[in-house]
Each structure stands twice: as C-alpha cells, then as structure tokens.
Amino acid sequence: IVCSNLQAFQTAQNALHLRGFVLGTRPEQDIRIVLLGKTGGGKSIAGNTIFGQDDVFLSDSSSISATQKCKAHTKNIKGRNITLIDTPGFFDTDIPEEELKPKIVKCITECAPGPHAFLIVLKVERYTVHENEAVVKIETYFSPEAFKYATVLFTHGDQLNGLTVEKFVQQNADLNKLVEKCGGRYHVIDNKYWNTNQQGRYSNQYQVAELLNTIEKMVRDNGGGFYTNEMLQEAERLIQAEIEGLRKELKGQISEKEMRKQAKKRAREKLLIKWSGIQVLKSYIVQTLKIKTYGLHDATIGY
C-alpha cells in the first residue's frame, strides 16, 4: 500500500508513542546539520559545496531522487566536526511505507539526539505553491519551533542573473515570510561558476564561510542547544544503551566513533522492530474488530 510520506512519518511517531518538542541543551563541539528540501533542489550539491568536495553526496539534479537513502558524513572544518545529514525526498514523492520506514528510522538515529541546524535548500527559481507546500511539511514533520534552528540555503546562484539574493527574496511574499520564520537567515551558493570564482560574495568559499558563521551564531542564540523531540530522545536513549553494551562486550577493542556507529545500527534495528510490531498489532486489532462487527451483523440478519 502506498501512503504519503507525511502519513508514514506520523505513523512512526504514533507507533513509538513519541510527540512534541523539547529543547536540547547539551553543549557539544560537534554540529549536526540536516539538509531538507525537494528532489532536484540541490541538497546533495549543497552538502558537497559545504565540504568543498564533489563526491561526498550523489547529485540529485535529475527528476528522480538520488538521495534514496539517508546519508550522513562528517568532516572537521576549522577544528569543529560538522556532520551533514542528507535526507531522502520526504517532501515530493509517494513511497511505499515499507520502503520509507528504514529511511525515516536511519534519519532519526543519525540526527539523534537532535540537529543543531536545518538547512532548507531551495533553487533560485520561481517560488511556487509546490515549494511552499514542501516548507509547510517541515513544520508538520517537526514543529514550528524547528524554524528557530533553520536557515534557507539557495542553490544555483548563477540564475540570479545579476539580481542580488536580497532582492530575489523580497520579490515573493511567501518566500519572504519563510525567511522571516527562519530569523532572517539565508545564503546562496552556486556549483556551476562560483567554485572557481574567488571574488568576494560570488564565491562558494565566501558563502560557505558566511553560512557556517550564521549557524554558529544561531547555535549560540539557542543557548548552545539543538532541536529535539521525544522521538529523537528515544533514539538517543537506545544508542546510549547499545554503547554501554558494546563497551562491556568489546572492552576497548574499537574506538568510540566505531562504537557509536555500531550502536546506531543496533538502535535502528530495534526501532524498526518496535515500529513494525506495533503496526502488526494495530492491523490485527482492526481486522479482529471488523470480523466481530461483520459477525454481529450476520447474526442480527439471521435472527
């Protein structure tokens, strides 16, 4: 059965009995950044540009989403570990729920205990109702509080055609509202020409530095915390429990980094089992109720 991505995400929340926003306050040196946006918007390109490489994330420039799986990569930039989480196309394609489940769960475990920043990735092009609908889904998937941790990142900056990005934003009321929701935070990059152009603001090097500065300031303004909710916290609790188990089991044979990686994998499996088990139980109850209802109906007719 094919269901909408939103339904699948809400199913995950319901199945795990997890809802609501809670502010994460644990100060950390590492920064976790989630890339959000429609297929073809340039999420993967944005990830590559931030890392200054062209082969970290597959390009999603085609109409078919290249980000079929949630992928996370970490790089040390100026002494700070930056983790980018490139999400599947939650916002624009109907995917069978069975296929979407492991992707959602992987994203949850990769983000846990919560991202410090969301990058809402949009192409420099006409901002239509479709883009606006995708943004509305961000609020639905997470909460209105998520925008306190969000920055808009425009890709394909060469398509500004001499127009400043400030003017581009001001030309569309809905786009302007989105930027305001994000605390006025927005930047622009371009993978076509700006990688080689090192002149001022029209270079990716300049724009990425400014973007990371914006994220740093945003994290400080949010008290050094990160966005979280009960679903992310549950994932982190499972990960920590698995780390403790691995620590006793392996007794220092692997690094902390590798230990967390293995713990995430085990936590994902448990979350999927929990989700699937609850769904099977719910289906059984629904079917049982249907049978009882039909049985009662038949008995009444017979009488």
- What pLDDT is stored for residue 129 in this prediction? 84
Q: What is the pLDDT of residue 62?
A: 45
**pLDDT value for 2:** 43
The packing angle between helices 5-15 and 97-111, to 10°, is 60
- Supply the Cα-derived Rg of the chain in whole angstroms: 22
Query: What confidence score (pLDDT) does residue 194 get?
Result: 79
Look up residue 71 and give its two tokens: 């992928």
In the chain, which residues have pLDDT < 70? 1-29, 59-68, 89-97, 100, 196-199, 277-303
How confident is the model at residue 115, as a pLDDT? 95
**Torsional class of 23: left (φ above 0), alpha (ψ -120 to 50), beta (otherwise):** beta
CA distance 57 to 121: 15
Supply the pLDDT for residue 197.
59
**Within a 10 A sphere around the Cβ of 3, how many other Cβ atoms?**
14
Q: 83 pairs with which residues across the strands?
A: 32, 74
Q: What is the pLDDT of residue 280?
A: 53
Percentage above 90 pLDDT, the chain: 43
Domains within the chain, CATH numbers bracketed:
2-229 (3.40.50.300)
The 8-class DSSP code of residue 203 comes to S
Cα–Cα distance, 122 to 275 (Å, whole number) = 32
What is the structure's pLDDT at 291? Answer: 59
